[in-house]
Structure 1
Amino acid sequence: MAGFVSLIGAGPGDLGLLTLKAKFALERADVVLYDHLANPEILRFCAHAEHIFVGKKGFSEYMSQQEISLLMVEKALQDKRVIRLKGGDVFVFGRGGEEAEACIAAGVPFEVIPGITSAIAVPAYAGIPVTHREAGSSFAVLTGNEMLRDAEKLKYQAFNDIDTLIFLMGVKTLPRIVERLLEIGKSKDTPAATIQWGTTQQQKVVEGTLENIVQKVQEAGIGAPAVTVVGEVVRYRNTLKWFDSRPLWGRKVAVTRTREGGSELGNLLRQEGAIVIEVPLIRFEQTSEPEALQEALRHISRFEWVLFTSQQGIQAAMKALDELGLDARAFAGVKLAVVGPSTARELARYGLRADFMPSRAGGVHLGNEVPASGQQPLLHFASSIAEADLHEALTHRGMEVHTVEAYQTLPSELSEEQRERLKDAEVITLASGSAARACASQLGTDIPAVTMGPQTHKAALAAGFSVAKMAETPSLLSLVGAVKAALLES
């Protein structure tokens, strides 16, 4: 449906708190207008879309609210699916109501996809329940900005009997907030906590009372974005804190990856509390042989099986089909095989179901198990640096396989910002010999390595790395254990 706006709450920062409905909408977007507080990692779900940064940080604005609303409507009137991506929840001090009104005034259809508000999630990640049977049966969420207004004094008198008060956008105005609360009768001994960058690996928590919280926040250098919680529930942090007390909390680990998008290893390390610095070693570009790719697609019926060994190969083939004025119907009468579950899911996105997937993911298993008759050749849409194991397995069985370069895999070039962040890494993970060699070539070998298995260990040493620890078994969980051992023993 063209000309449509989705007002999406991105949540408080942790990528895992983005809702499934929001992810689904992002994957179909043409344009995304995003705020400073929206986790930039979310944009990988809509890499194909136009990304427009609109700011909205603290007391400064990159674009005014009116300009944002006008731009959002303008893009929608161009028959585009527009995402307005906002930190937290759309309607909790997010001005989403104004943007919805702008859509109505322009006759643009829209939807609201709520996000998890920082008012509840941030205290939870700090180990502070906003309600507790023995400490608080009521809570209120307030904007710190309004505490600047003298006329609001009487309004806040009504909150004196509320057990838990949660202030958003209130770092700059915290002295005035405390002053107001004391004026309406709150005790100076009331517990208070301010949480900066809650739910992220940069989370920082300062605890105190209304008497000293301002001083403690200033001494700790706490700035926006932050949430302040006032009430007896703050005392529960000492026993309930979980997020910032995990084994690798605050430790910085560089994770090499040889594919685009997020890293599963990175996610596992984040669950242990580590600050993960992603190091992309490769990037994908369009094929250097477009004519050969198009020729293979024109004559797809010549082949008994089409083999896909990557999501990128599927995407490249489908894009080339579109350029030829064709679609997925071109595969009618041809059997489709995939190398593993993630490739099967990518194929399904185009309305195609894989006819075969091997018992174990991997090119050699696909080559050994695909039930081809051998009466017609097989077609493999491959990378420019495709490994030979699939081809060798098929030729060993007497099969004729035609390999076409669907896309190029090239060394990734790190930005200066990425290189600067890497200077703080305590260890770097290497999961393969190729990763060790690529990393040594692109980054050098100054960071101690944690390797997966003896072969990678040997390759890392040969490349010049000092190896802090080796995972005994070739699994991500074993590699995480080796990282923990390397850092916690140091």
Structure 2
Amino acid sequence: MARVKRKAGTAREKPPLSGRRIVITRPRTQAGEFVRLIEELGGEVIEFPTIEIVPPVNYGPLDLAIRRIKTYQWIIFTSVNGVKHFWKRFTRLNKRASDLRGARIAAIGPRTAAELRSLGLSVALLPGEYRAEAIAEKLGKARVKGKSVLLPRAAEARDVLPLTLERWGATVDVVEAYRTVAAQGNAARLKSMLRKKEIDVVTFTSSSTVNHFAELFAEEDAPDLLRNCLVACIGPITRETAERLGIRVDVVAGEFTIPGLTRVIAEHFSRQ
């Protein structure tokens, strides 16, 4: 199962997460910041990744979009993963940042924008709320009508953004830049700890983490397993996914980021 990390608090100043066991379900390769923030607040981290990020089954559609990159007026990135996997293929096809000069780039949130800027790319649009609907609202109908839009993203992503843009008159190419698949691992230990009430918090940072968690424990009934711990979600879309599966959600980050999620968990226990 997952490795366990602990950072003990001091007797003088007890950190807000001291003595709390917190499960992280995001991919292990992307859990570093979350682990660090929880440990800094005295928490014990149990890494239990429910998903892995892998390349697309077929690079054909992405390669075609990259070769036609100068035909797009907007390129929209809805995750850091989307940026990384797009850019890896983009450079593999001998493209440069200068090939993107004719397009304006939109990012769903500050981390995605930071990843783009680290590659030397300018971000023309960043919504105040970090979700797909907010990108559409910030773009507006007038800016996309008659435009060609590229949306490199996960195969499993929601369709609300491309459907909205198409309704407003844009031509949208949705291409698979990466996939989220179920992580391989033994869930027996976590199931045992949940049954014994040895877990304080289970966190979900995307709809995919929720869906795959529920699949892992389908026979055990995920809502029942989680009834004795706090369930924390990174934002309203993840919360909606959990609730649709019958999972009770206790706290939702106001700022849809890992620091925001850490903060709301710490605030919850500070009030106790």
Shorter-chain TM-score range = 0.7 to 0.9
Counterparts in 2 of 1:437 and 1:295: CA distance versus 1, 3 Å = closer
| Residue number among 192, 199, 204 corresponding to 1:426 in the alignment | 199
Structure 2: give runs of 5+ residues left out of the alignment: 256-260
Structure 1: give runs of 5+ residues left out of the alignment: 1-39, 42-199, 205-236
Counterparts in 2 of 1:321 and 1:480: CA distance versus 1, 3 Å = same
Q: Is the 8 A contact 2:8 2:43 kept in 1?
A: no
**Matching residue of 1:201:** 6
1:343, CA displacement in angstroms? 0.9
| Residue number among 120, 142, 145 corresponding to 1:374 in the alignment | 145
Does residue 101 of structure 2 align to residue 332 of structure 1?
A: yes
What are the equivalent positions in structure 2 for 1:442-461 lying under 5 Å apart? 442-443=216-217, 444=220, 445=222, 446-447=225-226, 448-452=228-232
What are the equivalent positions in structure 2 for 1:263-278 lying under 5 Å apart? 266-278=35-47
Which string of whole-angstrom CA distances, capped at 9 and with x for unpartnered residues, describes residues 282-315 of structure 1?
Answer: 2111112201111111111111111111112112
Q: How many angstroms apart in 2 are the aligned matches of 1:461 and 1:470?
A: 11
| Residue number among 103, 106, 116 corresponding to 1:347 in the alignment | 116
| SS in structure 1 of the partner of residue 85 of structure 2 | helix
**Matching residue of 1:256:** 25
- AA paired with 2:163? E
| SS in structure 1 of the partner of residue 165 of structure 2 | helix
| SS in structure 1 of the partner of residue 6 of structure 2 | coil
State the percentage of identical aligned residues: 22
**Matching residue of 1:440:** 214
Q: Is the 8 A contact 1:313 1:381 kept in 2?
A: yes
| SS in structure 2 of the partner of residue 380 of structure 1 | strand
- AA paired with 1:438? H
- AA paired with 2:200? V
Q: How many angstroms apart in 2 are the aligned matches of 1:472 and 1:433?
A: 12
Counterparts in 2 of 1:376 and 1:455: CA distance versus 1, 3 Å = closer
Larger Rg: 1
**Matching residue of 2:250:** 470
- AA paired with 1:330? D
Q: How many angstroms apart in 1 are the aligned matches of 2:93 and 2:32?
A: 34
Q: How many angstroms apart in 1 are the aligned matches of 2:34 and 2:154?
A: 23
1:255, CA displacement in angstroms? 2.9
Aligned pair count reads 249
1:272, CA displacement in angstroms? 3.6
1:375, CA displacement in angstroms? 2.8
Please report the RMSD computed on the Cα atoms of aligned residues, expressed in angstroms.
3.7
**Matching residue of 1:82:** none
Q: How many angstroms apart in 2 are the aligned matches of 1:303 and 1:464?
A: 41
Q: How many angstroms apart in 2 are the aligned matches of 1:456 and 1:326?
A: 35
Does residue 49 of structure 2 align to residue 280 of structure 1?
A: yes
Counterparts in 2 of 1:345 and 1:442: CA distance versus 1, 3 Å = same
Counterparts in 2 of 1:458 and 1:354: CA distance versus 1, 3 Å = closer
**Matching residue of 1:223:** none
Q: How many angstroms apart in 2 are the aligned matches of 1:323 and 1:264?
A: 28
Q: Is the 8 A contact 1:252 1:427 kept in 2?
A: yes
Q: How many angstroms apart in 2 are the aligned matches of 1:386 and 1:264?
A: 23
Q: Is the 8 A contact 1:340 1:357 kept in 2?
A: yes
- AA paired with 1:201? R
**Matching residue of 2:159:** 388
